[in-house]
Structure 1
Amino acid sequence: MDQPNNTNLRFLSVTTLNILITFFELVGGLLSGSLSLISDAFHNFSDTFSIVLSYLANVIGNKKATPKNSYGYRRAEILTALLNSIILVLISLFLLFEGIDRIQNPEAVKGAIMFWVAIISFIANLGAALLLRGGSHNNLNMKATYLHLLSDSLASIGVIIGAIFIYFFNLTWIDPVITILVSLYIAYESLPIIQQTFRILMEGSPDIDVEHVKSDLLAIPEIKDVHHFHSWSINENELMASVHVNLPDLPLSETEKIYGNIENVLKAKYNISHVTIQAECTRGLKKAMCLSNEDEDNDIRNGK
């Protein structure tokens, strides 16, 4: 995990670099007449906005839990990841329609200017993406921002290739075609993040085999039955669960030991960081009956 100071420095560096790229591509696109450069400039502008949102979400997400927000503020990063991804999809739709319009109404493009602007933009975008890559594996928010920047890098490659064909063969239709391909790629990369963030926000169950969980818990000798198991995510790294277990009529001190065993199993095998356990005797138990030692002795004396 990145330290907060390292993360802040990365976001600041990437934001500054992205503002410079946006201005550079916009001027280059206007001078060359390249739709893909102008579109990428707007894309970079949206990246800058997304990076600022990501930074704020990271700051909010690291705030300590309070009585009113007992699970903390980690969901701020999930909300931002969702917003970033939706922005990406909207941008991809804008680029798609603009590309189709440019195919129908072609305009002259200066391939040489387009080429050199795209080269410099590619280097800058790739550098910005690499700055965030290290923290993108365990953080959906940073992953969404990283994908923003990576898609810019790929867009620049497309623009470079297009500029070469335009300069040597005057194939101006390549410029909007590249724009359309990049827009489809952006949407393809963004939709899974939207799906995952929706599942987290809707309290959807993480990818856990409930039957395996029950089997593992039933392997603890004192547990007679397991039911009402529910799991959900605070963010992509923090899993929560609640479960009901049927136990013998034990003293509270013995029950707490079993709770510890349950927590250890769920933490070690399923990475569940917090679990709420409800112990029951017969409630919810389908077959077995739970009797205290005194009740069992009474039954034996009464011939039951």
Structure 2
Amino acid sequence: MTGSPHNHSADTGHVHSHDHGHSHVPAVTKDNEHNILVSFLVILSFMVVEAVGGILSGSLALLADAGHMLTDAIALGLAYLAFRLGRRKPDAKRTFGYARFEVVAGLVNAVTLFGIVGWIIYEAIGRFGAPQPVMAAPMLIVAIIGMIVNLFVLWYLTRGDTEHVNIKGAVLHVMGDLLGSVGAILAAIVIWLTGWTPIDPILSVFVAMLILRSAWGLLKNTLHILFEGAPANVNSDMVIQHIQDNVPDVASVHHVHVWSLTSGRVLATLQVQPTAQADIRALIKQVEHELETKFNIEHSTIGLDLEGDASCSLENPPQLNAAHIGHNH
């Protein structure tokens, strides 16, 4: 919905200006969606093959790599669902749409990964105490095919928009799984040449550590977003300093809150106190421009503190002295 700003000051003393001409959803190309979907189907299909191969050959390293491929499939599936759900328009109950679906799903994914790592380590400890026979030839064949699959998916994913946050995450997952496939190949070669089967659980633990690293990073990121944490590249002090240094006619900046709605989508609220000679509309537009270009903040809500004593306290909200001008990107 677009139109002229709407002013409501008769009863409340607040001025609200909302521009709804911009979408809250980042642009996603059909190529991105198609690349993610094809990669997901390829990874998921071979994950099943690798799991069966690990069971038949007796290789824990293959099973661990299959677990790692499962994490890839989940990541790719979440990326695809995020693209699809991102098309849904916000409504009265979900004013930001379904943008946080991928964050909640990512949290579930992280917890699942910790469970997979625990199972791999438990099995590896058991095999150190009681080594089991491993069929090196089938293990080697499946591991080589797995490496080829990962190389194909890596190439296919990088044909699209590699700057999109979901594509970047998927590429990192596949690169990690490629290392797991190389580890399984090395384990198969060692067993084939020497018959030393402990190399299988040793390398399975190595793959488990790769999964654990991904799981820990995912858990930290999702919890940080759910706790409304500021993105790594911006915090309230940086915003205050930058606005005061780069926007003329700003006397002060305060009550700054910066957080991520989901990965790659940053929001902010703040109050600015203009000088007496300030052009209010020009001031607001410049603040918005600085927030967007410097910090990639796509949605900002800016409050005008006209008397220098506005408050954002929940117990003592701003009264007649504050004019709020919100702008949606």
TM-score by length of structure 2 reads: 0.76
Q: Residues 160-199 of structure 1 correspond to what in structure 2 (within 5 A)?
A: 160-199=185-224
Amino acid at match of 1:100: I
Q: Residues 44-193 of structure 1 correspond to what in structure 2 (within 5 A)?
A: 44-45=69-70, 47-133=72-158, 137-139=163-165, 141-193=166-218
Answer whether contact 2:235 2:258 (CA < 8 A) is retained. Answer: no
Amino acid at match of 1:216: H
Q: 1:51 offset after TM fit, Å? A: 3.5
Amino acid at match of 2:217: P
Between the aligned partners of 1:211 and 1:152, the Cα distance in structure 2 is: 39
Q: 1:85-141 CA distances to partner (integer Å, 9 max, x unpaired)?
A: 3322322222111111111111111212211111111111232244335556532x5
Percent identity (aligned): 31
Q: Residues 23-62 of structure 1 correspond to what in structure 2 (within 5 A)?
A: 23-45=48-70, 47-62=72-87
Q: 1:165 offset after TM fit, Å? A: 0.8
Higher Cα Rg: structure 1 or 2?
Answer: 1
Larger helix proportion, structure 1 or 2? 1
Tell me the residue number matched to 2:289: 264
Between the aligned partners of 2:291 and 2:172, the Cα distance in structure 1 is: 32
Between the aligned partners of 1:79 and 1:67, the Cα distance in structure 2 is: 21
Answer whether contact 1:147 1:189 (CA < 8 A) is retained. Answer: no
Q: 1:248 offset after TM fit, Å? A: 4.4
| C-alpha spacing 1:149/1:265, structure 2 compared with 1 (3 Å) | closer
Q: Secondary structure at the match of 1:213?
A: helix
Amino acid at match of 1:244: Q
Are 1:211 and 2:237 matched, yes or no? yes
| C-alpha spacing 1:201/1:271, structure 2 compared with 1 (3 Å) | same
Q: Secondary structure at the match of 1:234?
A: strand
| C-alpha spacing 1:84/1:132, structure 2 compared with 1 (3 Å) | farther
| C-alpha spacing 1:52/1:267, structure 2 compared with 1 (3 Å) | closer
Amino acid at match of 2:220: Q
How many pairs align?
Answer: 282
Q: Secondary structure at the match of 2:256?
A: strand
> Unaligned regions of 5+ residues in structure 1, if any?
286-304
Larger RCO, structures 1/2 (Cα 8 Å, 6+ apart): 2
CA RMSD of aligned residues (A): 2.6
Answer whether contact 1:15 1:48 (CA < 8 A) is retained. Answer: yes
TM-score by length of structure 1 reads: 0.82
> Unaligned regions of 5+ residues in structure 2, if any?
1-25, 311-329
